Amino acid sequence: QVQLVQSGAEVKKPGSSVKVSCKASGGTFNRYAFSWVRQAPGQGLEWMGGIIPIIGSANYTQKFQGRVTITADESTGTAYMELSSLRSEDTAVYYCADHYGDYSLWGRGTLVTVSS
Amino acid sequence: DIQMTQSPSAMSASVGDRVTITCRASQGISNYLVWFQQKPGKVPKRLIFAASSLQFGVPSRFSGSGSGTEFTLTISSLQPEDFATYYCLQHNSYPPTFGRGTKVEIK
């Protein structure tokens, strides 16, 4: 069964960085296209950026440009989202999703808490 | 960026009611629209893709319609398990953008 398996919850200090992973289990890695979507507590869904591994380059929404880096490692079948200069407002659940399949497949989410 | 205006933001409805949720795009997006259902603490679940195609396994009381700029999600007869928040997403152009959600609550 095809799954996206995300890394575990993180607690980070303001100003630090976090790197969340999303491993594609089953299927061919290069048939995925990974989007990263976040959801702050009690808020809606927000698309941050995405990458198509077979192409390699990532796209980011302007809000996160310069603070987020999305990469994909074909050798491990894993996509990564790194967010830097963390602030309290970045406390959220971060999801990866396969946008090649029109968002039918999602990871279970990774809670990132930013707190001093 | 394409703005997705979703309405209403919240609604109260009873079991058996017909429910309609609308998303309006700030520019044409063809049929590149997805509807999701999300329950508290859970992952968004795709209900409808390509504006009107029902996800396998989703009950037929859910339907989607529209093209261009106006889209509708309809629940023909609301069931207890349908109380949730619903989101639309356009993926016609970068960046993909979500509607702000519609919370369907029990009347």
Q: What is the pLDDT of residues B37-70, one digit of tens each?
A: 999 999 999 999 999 999 999 999 999 999 999 9
CA distance B89 to chain A (A): 9
- With a CB cutoff of 8 Å and minimum separation 6, the contacts of B40 are none
Q: Which residues of A touch B50 (CB under 8 A)?
A: 102
Q: Tell me, letter by letter, the H, E, C secondary structure of chain A.
A: CCEEEECCCEEECCCCCEEEEEEEECCCHHHCCEEEEEECCCCCCEEEEEECCCCCCEEECHHHCCCEEEEEECCCCEEEEEECCCCHHHCEEEEEEECCCCCCEECCCEEEEECC
CA nearest A35 in B: which residue?
B96
DSSP state of B10: E
Confidence grade of residue B26 (pLDDT, cut at 50, 70, 90): very high
% of chain A surpassing 90 pLDDT: 80
Q: What is the pLDDT of residues A76-90, one digit of tens each?
A: 999 999 999 999 999
Per-residue pLDDT at B12: 97
Q: Which residues of B touch A104 (CB under 8 A)?
A: 46, 49, 55
Whether chain A has a CB inside 8 Å of the CB on B95: the answer is: yes
What is the DSSP pairing of strand A34-39 with strand A58-60? unpaired
Confidence grade of residue A30 (pLDDT, cut at 50, 70, 90): confident
Average pLDDT of the segment spanning B70-83: 97
Q: Please say if the pLDDT value at position A69 is more than 90.
A: yes
Q: Which residues of B touch A108 (CB under 8 A)?
A: 43
Q: Please say if the pLDDT value at position A56 is more than 90.
A: no
State the average pLDDT for chain B. Answer: 97
Q: Considering only residues 57 to 116 of chain A, which have any Cβ-Cβ distance to chain B shorter than 8 Å?
A: 59-62, 95, 99, 102-104, 106-109
Confidence grade of residue A96 (pLDDT, cut at 50, 70, 90): very high
Cβ–Cβ of A47/B96 closer than 8 Å? yes
